[in-house]
Amino acid sequence: MPSENDRDALVNEFVQSFPQRAGRFSRVLTRAAHSDFPRGMAQILASVEEEGARSITQLAAQEGVAQPTVTNIIIRLEKLGYATRRKDEADGRKVLVELTPAGREKLRDMRARHSQALRQELASLSEWELRDLVRASEALQRLIERLQKDPSPSDDGDFPA
């Protein structure tokens, strides 16, 4: 059983390395998948798909970026035919962002490209390395769920990536 000092050292190592590695992994995977679609736009599409129609305020808070940034992304997504805006039926003052069928197709295509690129690289790993990655992914999912239940405020909502 690890000592408290060992546990603290492990926590510190993860806290120091993971946010940067997660950002780098996302960038490298996007390049490996030969994606020409901006990651910020892809993140907004994925968020709307996962959570359903969202307001710009909700999207900005969820993504940790300013509302004008999200507004500009939504305008670009609309011009590409990937998203639309509509009035909220429950509150006519609120505007909700939704995916179009073309937006859903774009997400499917991007995910397929990412999966293919990842599968190619995973093929070279040993069975033990793959098991370690699966366990790490499961632990990461549990951490994500905990953070979603009790998000702690941060200074600016961004991690250096």
How would residue 86 be classed by pLDDT, with cut points 50, 70 and 90?
Answer: very high
**pTM across the whole model:** 0.75
Q: What is the mean pLDDT of residues 10-28?
A: 91
Tell me which of 51 and 158 has the higher pLDDT: 51
**Identity (one letter) of the amino acid at 21?**
R
Of the two residues 147 and 108, the one the predictor is more confident about is: 108
Rounded percentage of the chain residues whose pLDDT exceeds 90: 63
In a domain, 78, yes or no: yes
- Name the residue with higher pLDDT: 67 or 154: 67
Does any domain span residue 140? no
Q: Please, what is the average pLDDT of the chain? A: 88
Query: How many domains, the chain?
Result: 1
The pLDDT of residue 155 is above 70: no
Residue 17 in any domain: the answer is no
60: domain CATH number is 1.10.10.10
Residues 51-67 have pLDDT tens digits of 899 999 999 998 889 99
Amino acid 150: pLDDT: 67
Q: Is residue 67 part of a domain?
A: yes
Which class for 47: exposed (0-12), middle (13-18), buried (19 or more C-beta within 10 A)? middle
Whether 6 maps to a domain, the answer reads: no
- The pLDDT assigned to 157 comes to 44
Query: What whole-number distance in Å separates Cα of residue 64 and Cα of residue 156?
Result: 7
Kindly state whether residue 147 falls inside one of the protein's structural domains. no
Asked whether residue 9 is domain-assigned, the answer is: no
* 60 within a domain of the structure (yes/no): yes
- Asked if residue 23 has pLDDT above 90, the reply is no
pLDDT of residue 60: 92
Q: Cβ of 89: how many Cβ atoms within 10 Å? A: 9
Chain-centroid distance, C-alpha 109: 16
90-106: per-residue pLDDT in tens? 887 888 999 999 999 99
Q: Which domain holds residue 102?
A: 24-124
Confirm if 20 and 160 have CB atoms less than 8 A apart.
yes
Which residues partner with 84 through β-bridges? 98
Residue 125 has pLDDT above 50, yes or no: yes
- Mean per-residue pLDDT for 114-123? 94
